[in-house]
Chain A
Amino acid sequence: MPDQTVLSLRDITLSFGPKIIQKNISLDVRKGSIFAVMGGSGCGKSTLLKSMIGLLRPSAGEYHVGDENYWAGDEAHRTDLNHRFGVLFQSGALWSSMTVGENIALPLQMFTDLKPSVIRRLVELKLGFVGMLQAIDLYPSEISGGMCKRAGLARALALDPDILFFDEPSAGLDPITSARLDDLILNLRDGLGATIVIVSHELPSLFHIADDGIFLDARTKTPIAHGSPRDLRDNCTDPQVHAFMHRERDEEGKT
């Protein structure tokens, strides 16, 4: 089933009190796709992501995860659905009082009945995926920002989620590390069969990995384009999307 929809938003309005952030957001994320949420700074990309992982209830609209209406049920229902999610926060958001290994083990200890030795094995596996095995006994304060991000990714994978959310995965990383992370994301998508929603404005990375997306506009507070970043770059006629996508292309031409 290549075109199965995993996440679907219908006419979602996001607001903080009376202040509307975005309205009329409708989108479908297909199973196995890498879906990019794009837009300028302050347009509400991260807010949309927050809403999709259950941290912010939209003021209007419907959000379905698979066949389930996400906001219709109670807290326990949402927690169950959240176990299908893995979230990589912008700066990793590792719990600073625990070692990297304990960070990844915590969800497994909380939500499975696995023995400590089995948990240790799974933690090593997840850290192995992101190439961080040597840091298993270190504290987050002892590793670099890029390593924090990779460890955060390993933690997001802890419960074998089938939907992954990435908030600015390559922000603050050097180009080489960032490119490696892109390859890692592609490998994990193909290997785990996961669906990925990614918030970013790193254009090279988006062109490389994303195959679907939505463009949010800060001024009209509504989405103005749908499609993969490559497609938007080549075919979109909207002046703002064009400007966003092509500034980078000019720079690519220069270098």
Chain B
Amino acid sequence: MTDQTTTGPSAAQPADRTPQWHLQGEQSAPVMVLSGTWQARTGNIPVFPKDGLKKSPGAHLSFQTSDLQVWDTGLVAFLWDLKRVAHDAGISLDMQTLPGPMRQLLELLPEVPDDPVHHKTARTPFLETIGNHAIASMTEVGVVSELGALTAKGAVLTLLGRSRMRMVDLLANTADAGPYALLIVGIVNFLIGAILAFVGAVELQKFAAGIYVASLVGIAMVREMAAVMTAIIMAGRTGGAYAARISTMQGNEEIDALNVFGIPTSTYLILPAVLSLIITMPFLYLYGCLIGMLGGFVVAISMLDITAAGYFHQTVTAFGIGQFIFGFTKSLVFGAFIGLTSCRIGLKAGRSAADVGIAATRAVVVGIVGVIAIDAIFAVIADVLGI
């Protein structure tokens, strides 16, 4: 009678612990005998071989489960294999011989699974990639300029009273970009001033020109360091926050809601953000200059043989108003740049949690690199104009 017997791989092990199966009975009516413990988490669920049923085409397979101990979805995984192989071999399964729960789960599973949909991971040639990046960058410059123009237009319309920027938003943004940033801007600029004084003092002392530490710190802070360091801090602190906030709004469909109402994002979101940075950055720059000079003063007084009055006098005579205006202008440009780019990056972001992280990172990176690049452009212009 048992003219056909196929046995599962683990038949030699103790009968009650391991999953076991074998086929018995005649070719036209084989019986799948299942016994042992079938638990998915043990990881020893056998795979039903693809050619396991080729000896009995057109047959009617029934099940015998009386020796089955404990089972869970692991057994169903095996039965699903069997179901697919049986379908391919044209064998019908007698589902009625399975216990009810097993049958119900097995009936949920398709005989012919749909093929997984794959991602389009088309490879683009190297040159094409470069070209795409170039076009994308140019487009981005255009889009940011357009956004800037729209924001400026929004500002003009707001001034004329024909469009509305909510004062609450501006105040909240300004508070966040101004007073709340004082501490960190102060600490960083103080340390920068102190470091400049250290470096200068070591070298200038050799020439008995210690007093010029005051000029060095003063000019460096006013021309470059205060504006650049403050902008870098604000790019990390406020730019990242703007990008994260706007991209989260994007994910919550809040931006879509604004668009449907016809509330322009340029006036409602971007204008307060950009304006608050344009308002606060010059103040933070002046504050950074003063604190930086204070840092230099503390180091110079303690390291060198100079008086407080001497340091003060040397600082005041070191730079003219032109230097101040130069740094001041830079801080305005930095503020507008950080505000615009971070808002644009937030608006461009995707809608998932990961996209928020990407947007925040990109805003910080673009902000910092952009600030330094703009500073370099300013340096060239200043050189040409002889400021």
Interface residues of A (CB under 8 A from B): 96-97, 112-115, 118, 121-122, 124-126, 128-131, 133-141, 157, 160, 184, 187-188, 190-193
B310 within 8 A of A: no
Pair B80/A128 contact, Cβ less than 8 Å: yes
Pair B353/A187 contact, Cβ less than 8 Å: no
Pair B354/A96 contact, Cβ less than 8 Å: yes
Pair A122/B73 contact, Cβ less than 8 Å: yes
Number of chain B residues whose Cβ lies closer than 8 Å to a Cβ of chain A: 32
B116 within 8 A of A: yes
* Bound form: Cα–Cα A130–B108 in Å: 7
Q: Other CB < 8 Å A-B pairs besides A131-B110, A192-B105, 8 of them?
A: A121-B47, A122-B74, A128-B109, A129-B109, A137-B116, A184-B108, A191-B76, A191-B104
Among residues of B, the one whose C-beta sits closest to the C-beta of A138 is B117
B351 within 8 A of A: yes
Chain B residues numbered 40-79 whose CB sits less than 8 Å from any CB in chain A = 40-41, 43, 45, 47, 72-74, 76-77
B179 within 8 A of A: no
What residues of chain A lie closer than 8 Å to B110, measured between beta carbons? 128, 131, 133
What residues of chain A lie closer than 8 Å to B118, measured between beta carbons? 137
Known: A128-B110, A137-B116. A160 touches B104 (CB 8 A): no
* Bound form: Cα–Cα A163–B241 in Å: 41
* Bound form: Cα–Cα A138–B354 in Å: 15
* Bound form: Cα–Cα A246–B80 in Å: 43
Pair A136/B116 contact, Cβ less than 8 Å: yes
A181 CB to nearest chain B CB (Å)? 12
Pair A190/B113 contact, Cβ less than 8 Å: no
Among B43, B109, B116, the residue within 8 A (CB) of A113 is: B43
* Bound form: Cα–Cα A112–B43 in Å: 9
In the complex, the number of residue pairs spanning A and B with C-beta atoms less than 8 Å apart equals 87
* Bound form: Cα–Cα A138–B116 in Å: 8
* Bound form: Cα–Cα A140–B47 in Å: 30
* Bound form: Cα–Cα A193–B72 in Å: 10
Among B47, B80, B354, the residue within 8 A (CB) of A125 is: B80
Known: A118-B45, A134-B117, A193-B101. A97 touches B352 (CB 8 A): yes
Pair B352/A118 contact, Cβ less than 8 Å: no
Pair B350/A115 contact, Cβ less than 8 Å: no
Known: A97-B353, A160-B72. A125 touches B77 (CB 8 A): yes
Among residues of A, the one whose C-beta sits closest to the C-beta of B43 is A114
B305 within 8 A of A: no
Pair A137/B40 contact, Cβ less than 8 Å: no
Interface residues of B (CB under 8 A from A): 40-41, 43, 45, 47, 72-74, 76-77, 80, 100-102, 104-105, 107-110, 113-119, 350-354
Pair B352/A140 contact, Cβ less than 8 Å: yes
What residues of chain B lie closer than 8 Å to A160, measured between beta carbons? 40-41, 72-73
Known: A121-B77, A160-B40. A191 touches B101 (CB 8 A): yes
What residues of chain B lie closer than 8 Å to A97, measured between beta carbons? 352-354
Known: A96-B352, A125-B77, A137-B119. A112 touches B105 (CB 8 A): no
Pair A134/B114 contact, Cβ less than 8 Å: yes
Among residues of B, the one whose C-beta sits closest to the C-beta of A115 is B43
* Bound form: Cα–Cα A139–B100 in Å: 35
A118 CB to nearest chain B CB (Å)? 5
Could you write out 29 A-B pairs with CB less than 8 Å apart?
A96-B352, A96-B353, A96-B354, A97-B352, A97-B354, A113-B43, A115-B43, A118-B43, A121-B47, A122-B73, A125-B109, A126-B73, A128-B108, A128-B110, A128-B113, A129-B105, A129-B108, A130-B108, A131-B110, A133-B113, A134-B117, A135-B116, A135-B117, A136-B116, A138-B117, A140-B352, A141-B352, A160-B73, A187-B104
Among B43, B72, B105, the residue within 8 A (CB) of A187 is: B105
Residue among A113, A133, A157, A184 with most chain B CB within 10 A: A133
B298 CB to nearest chain A CB (Å)? 46
Pair A134/B101 contact, Cβ less than 8 Å: no
Q: Lowest 10 CB-CB distances: which A-B pairs, in order? A: A96-B352, A191-B105, A134-B114, A97-B354, A191-B104, A128-B109, A114-B43, A191-B101, A125-B77, A133-B113
